[in-house]
Amino acid sequence: MKIALAQINYHIGNFKSNIEKITNAIIKAKSQGADLVIFAELAISGYPPRDFLEFNDFVEKCNSAIKQIAKDCADIAVVIGSPTFNSAAEGKPLHNSAVFINDGKIQYEHHKSLLPNYDIFDEYRYFEPGKKFEIISLKGKKIALTICEDLWNIGNDPLYTINPMDEIFKYDPDFIVNIAASPFNYKQAEIRKSILLKNVKKYKLPLFYINHVGAQTELLFDGGSMVINKEGEIIEELKYFEEDFKVFDTDNLKTYPAKETKNQPSKMELIHDALVMGVRNYFQKLDFKKAILGLSGGIDSAVTLAIAAEALGSENVKAILLPSEFSSDHSVNDAKILAENIGCKYDIISIEEAYKSFTNTLSPQFKNLSFGLTEENLQARIRGVILMALSNKFGYIVLNTSNKSEAAVGYGTLYGDMNGGLSILGDVYKTEVFELARYINRNTEIIPENTITKPPSAELRPDQKDSDSLPDYEILDEILYQYIELRNGPKEIIAQGFDEQIVKKTLKLVNTNEYKRYQTPPILRVSPKAFGMGRRIPIVAKYLSR
């Protein structure tokens, strides 16, 4: 039997586009002699549809789309993910289903059993778990049909009390199909591959795995769909960060040459490619055309500009240099050189006059109080106002340039440098931003060397350095990683040799600045634990904040 994997970039709620892409893949599969074509989890709706699932109209449109697609399946079978209504009187109103279409008819709906409800996942909010474990038959083959998490309860530390594949295996299937929506982080591809290989090793069955590709706001999907034969050899991996399609013959998997081992992409290559895809898809799916950002001459705005230009084209990104009386000449020059290297247009708008006007206006209230944080924030907010004015007037989307280290400890100004429609680096620690800059410069110098090597500074007061307010980033980022990604508490972090006072101060900053992060733009997720939907911390809380 010939099976096609169709790895598609879906668009949540865009039924016309999703149906067109799915139908085109079915036609392509037919032309290549496929008997079955497999699409991803919740392909019809896009993933994650979230509270759209609370609207009957939305789910009805999913069902109508399935029926429309079925009309094109007279000579081919299809497995495709969609929300379906729960016909039982009890339980949640919906199932997360894999719909099996054959001979132009919907013949079977297999419901996902294991519904993840951690990190970015909220599936048990909407779906009733499937409780039936069966196989489907096609052309004499028995198929173990599973949906994403249903294969993940394997190993020595199970999260759930049942393993669906153990139940299906009792019916002696010939191979496993797993349709998935597995979001990207820089560790996920290897973890995912390990889980799939464990299943093949345990059940001694070939496995056909299909994943989403593309960005859905902050969630990025890297593709990497694959076929593994029963000997545990990865026969083929589909492309990462791109749509792809390929047909495989179940009778000849063992004769396929095992895929050559190639160098695994580096962490920075993965993050870079994910961010470029994330920016490109965010703009495409919202019909945005042009971006604007404040270019300071510092590392964060430099990397943001480079990624945005690669994603959107340099002609569609505008850089605004916003020097103040505290801006150094080399910062302005570095920013100009970068813009010229990339080939994007830029303007220089000094904020000195606006800053003096504000301070004059406020002088009766400020009286003779000394220069301080208020005046620093005022400069950042003036810059934010200028960028937003240009955005409103000319239709640009402002790109936020804050990194994860700054967002973690509140080292940013609300309604100033924290403005923006999308945060590109909000899940990238400062030390990683430097690594990313080196990766961007891997073939030629795009980001000026001086931007990478000079001490980071907000340049909001004379001779300011980030290190005046924060620990060195090498120390800060490791503490933040231990707390945010690994969820270690102060005792565990201090026990690793970090200074007690620095640890306590850092964790206090993280927790007391939660209110700022609630007001940030969407952050492209590239790590195992990002700020946003996958990390839910109360604002009004006392834990480690006093």
Catalytic residue list: 41, 112, 148
- Structure token pair of residue 106: 């919907």
Question: C-alpha distances in angstroms, 97 versus 122, 184, 270?
Answer: 16, 22, 30
Closest Cα to residue 507, out of 534, 528, 481, 468?
481
Rounded Cα distance, 220 and 274, in Å: 7
Q: Across the strands, what pairs with 237?
A: 226
**Residue closest to 422 by CA, chosen among 279, 271, 273, 216:** 279
Query: Whole-angstrom Cα distance, residue 190 to residue 209?
Result: 14
Helix then strand then coil, in percent of the chain rounded to 5, is 40, 20, 40
Tokens of 277: 């895809």
37 is written with which tokens? 């074509």
Cis, bond preceding 48 (omega within 30 deg of 0): yes
In sequence order, the 6+-apart residues with CB closer than 8 A to the CB of 32 are 2, 4, 247
The β-bridge partners of 127 are 94
Question: Is the CB of residue 4 less than 8 Å from the CB of residue 36?
Answer: yes
**3-class SS at 544?**
coil
Give whole-number Cα distances, 514 to 507, 532, 540, in Å: 11, 11, 9
The helix/strand/coil state of 135 is coil
- Report the candidate in 530, 539, 316 with the shortest Cα–Cα distance to residue 424: 530
| CA–CA gap between residue 12 and residue 48 (Å, rounded) | 7
CA-based max dimension of the chain: 87
Read off φ and ψ for residue 107, nearest 5 degrees: -100, -25
Nearest in space to 144 (alpha carbons), one of 163, 169, 108: 169
The answer to whether 344 and 309 have CB atoms below 8 angstroms apart is yes
Helix or strand or coil: residue 145?
strand
Task: Name the residue among 503, 514, 507 with its Cα closest to residue 536.
Answer: 514
Written in H, E and C, the secondary structure of 160-181 is CCCCHHHHHHCCCCCEEEEECC
Alpha-carbon span 329 to 412, nearest angstrom: 23
Residue 224 tokens, joined? 């990497």
318 vs 218: CA distance, rounded Å: 23
- Angle at which helices 299-312 and 329-342 cross, to 10°: 10
Buried-exposed string 239-262: b where 16+ CB fall within 10 A, e elsewhere: ebbeebbbbbebeebeeeeeeeee
